Structure 1
């Protein structure tokens, strides 16, 4: 997650996040939110925060992204008001068994609920790092 900071930024924006992020991954459902946080951090460190070449998304994660894009297309320069995603292509945020992706705050409630539903229907875990909770 990216946070605004610094003296040049007004107080109202200093702690405001630029996007709402979700993590979705393959694997057994963690026992609780703490276990989910540890699992997410481990996956993030292994697949995202690394100097190693990017691992292509797994088939299940690619299918999850495709399902999200059926409802809302990838962000486009001329069409950014209709997509909740804050990055494009969305599949570019996926590595191996994990996708960690940002969405616009203005659409985060609807888009994150949909993403959690799709993840659950596909047997994937959905974790909200802002709330530090597994999504149902």
Structure 2
């Protein structure tokens, strides 16, 4: 998920995601605190699917907020919960005005109606 303009197509979305990921999550520069919309999104997400640092069955890398920086959050889900959680995460991203990209495809994720 990222806070920004919705790209025109999946190719542009993939490029935008790669740029945000490199800038905010792979950078060796000083860590950038997550933007307010990203923080609000993560807080809402973990309200429904809490961080369980000791025995998380949802998150592959808890706490989720540690996967957020600047305008992006990269969600790492356990395989057993990925379908359920990713559907909710996509719907929630829309509510928070964020862009959701499914990296495996890659395609802009639109929640089911």
Which TM-score bucket, shorter chain as reference?
over 0.9
Q: Which has the higher helix share?
A: 2
**Alignment TM-score, normalising by the size of structure 2:** 0.93
- For 2:56 and 2:18, how far apart are their aligned partners in 1? 30
- For 1:117 and 1:80, how far apart are their aligned partners in 2? 22
Q: Which has the higher strand share?
A: 1
User: Alpha carbon RMSD of aligned pairs, Å?
Assistant: 0.9
Match of 2:94?
120
Larger radius of gyration: 1
Equivalences for 1:18-97 in 2 at 5 Å?
24-77=1-54, 79-81=55-57, 84-97=58-71
Runs of 4+ in structure 1 displaced over 3 angstroms? none
- For 1:80 and 1:26, how far apart are their aligned partners in 2? 26
Uncovered stretches (5+) of structure 2, i.e. residues with no partner? none
Paired residue total = 110
Uncovered stretches (5+) of structure 1, i.e. residues with no partner? 1-23
